[in-house]
Amino acid sequence: MALVCLVASGLQAQGNSELERSRARLDSIRQERQDLQAEQRRLAGRLTDANAQLRNYERQRANAGELVTEIERQIGGLGSQLQRSAAELALAQDNLIERRAVLQRRLVDIYKRGPLHTFQVLLAAESFGDLLTRYKYLYLTSRQDRTLVTEVERLTVRVQSQRGELLGIQSELDRRRREREAEIQRYGDLMQREQSTLRTLQRTSDQTRDRLTALQRDEARLTNILATLESARRTTTTGNARSGLSTADIGKLDWPVEGNILYQFGREKLANGGVILRNGIAIGAAAGTAVTAVDSGTVRLKERLGTYGLTLIVEHTSGLYAIYAQLSTTSVDKGERIAKGQAIGSVGGASSDQGPHLYFEIRGENQIALDPMVWLRSRR
């Protein structure tokens, strides 16, 4: 029995050691999850790198898979430990039943024979040798009874302890199973979120593609209009000197409306990774704010141009045009001469992605888009 207990103790120690290592790995995986969740919150706050967010979802999904695997390993270890503890408990219970049966028989014998008084047994001895024999018998009987009682008490405590340990292992096993189910649910949720993000990205990509297509179409239309206007101007003004906007006005023009710059001239990287080329600038202002002409000129176009909205094209001088788009109203007509600083319309664009704003361009020779920030007066 001692050898069996020694082997069982060795196996239990080995199982506990493996369980501790598994718990350490589980803590490490959970720490990785916390790091990934922190990174997810950071990415969600920025909303600038959808691909990084997708990679984060994939890593979280892999992390959840590792957690499930580690919990499965722990469930297996706890199951083995539960079986060992159950076997040890059954053995201890058998030993307790056996010792209690012996103790019960001994108590029955004592009850049947009545109390045994030590001094009567010793005084009834017929010789010194009989006295020693009687004394030894009494001593051995007393020691055996005490040992039996002690062993029954020890086995009772051991059975109670092992029952408590068994219940603790069972409770831990149930908790691990619930945790595994929660991780499997989390794994499924992550997959759904990843798929939802992919669908959103696809939808956003399609919308961006459509938007870029519309912008390119409207830009080509605007360029054709400007080319037509420039061709007509060259035909009617050949050899005539003109006044108005010229390269001498670089850095001196007044702003058509006061407000913050919502996007600059040139290439802009969108949140989903797409790139759009801006031929002008967007100036944020409250809807209805008056828009003024940056210089004197002639209104050559007044109409709605797709994504540009209500648009005015003002010819200022040879090869130079100012474009005022995203207007809600205009107060001038096609062919009308306007003066510098004259109110020509009001800010619109409330339904656009940027909200209310004025879109402003300056086009040069051959309809080349020029950076308006270079032409407008520096703001301090």
Nearest alpha carbon to residue 225 among 300, 306, 307, 332: 300
Residue 25 tokens, joined: 């790995």
Give the class (CATH, top level) of 213-375: mainly beta
329 bridge partner residues: 346
User: What is the pLDDT, as a whole number, of residue 201?
Assistant: 65
Centroid of chain to Cα 241: 65
For every residue of 144-169, DSSP letters joined together read: HHHHHHHHHHHHHHHHHHHHHHHHHH
pLDDT string in tens for the chain (380-residue length): 443 344 445 545 555 676 677 667 667 766 766 766 665 565 554 444 566 766 777 777 777 777 777 777 777 777 777 787 777 778 877 877 887 787 777 777 777 766 666 666 667 767 877 778 777 876 777 787 788 778 878 877 877 787 777 777 777 777 777 777 777 777 667 777 777 776 776 666 666 666 667 777 777 777 778 778 777 777 776 544 444 566 677 888 899 999 999 999 887 776 555 667 788 999 999 999 999 999 989 999 999 988 889 999 999 866 689 999 999 999 999 999 999 999 999 999 888 888 999 999 998 877 788 899 988 988 76
Chain centroid to CA 188: 14
Cα–Cα distance for residue pair 16/119, rounded to 1 Å: 56
Residues with Cβ < 8 Å from 90, sequence gap 6 or more?
Answer: none
Q: Which residues contact 304 (CB under 8 A, 6 or more apart)?
A: 310, 311
SS3 content of the chain, % helix, strand, coil (to 5): 65, 15, 20
pLDDT for 7 equals: 41
Within 10 angstroms of residue 288's Cβ, the number of other Cβ atoms is: 12
Instruction: Please check whether residue 357 is in contact with residue 283, taking contact to mean a CB–CB distance below 8 angstroms.
Output: yes
What are the start-end ranges of the E strands in the chain? 260-263, 266-269, 275-278, 281-284, 290-292, 297-304, 310-317, 320-330, 337-338, 343-347, 357-363, 369-370
Residue 273, token pair as written in the block: 């990774």
Top-tier CATH class for 2-197: mainly alpha
Backbone angles phi, psi at 347, to 5 degrees: -70, 135
Distance in angstroms (rounded) separating the CA atoms of residues 306 and 321: 19
Task: Return the domain boundaries, the chain.
Answer: 2-197, 213-375
Contacts of 183 (CB under 8 A, 6+ apart): 64, 67, 68, 71
**Rounded distance between C-alpha atoms, residue 280 and residue 308, angstroms:** 11
Predicted TM-score (pTM) above 0.75: no
| pLDDT at residue 339, as a whole number | 92
Positive or negative: CA dihedral 51, 52, 54, 58: positive
* Secondary structure letter of residue 104 according to DSSP: H
Amino acid of residue 276: I
User: Of the candidates 349, 337, 369, 334, which has an alpha carbon nearest to the alpha carbon of residue 257?
Assistant: 349
Strands 281-284 and 260-263: antiparallel
What is the reported pLDDT for 324?
96
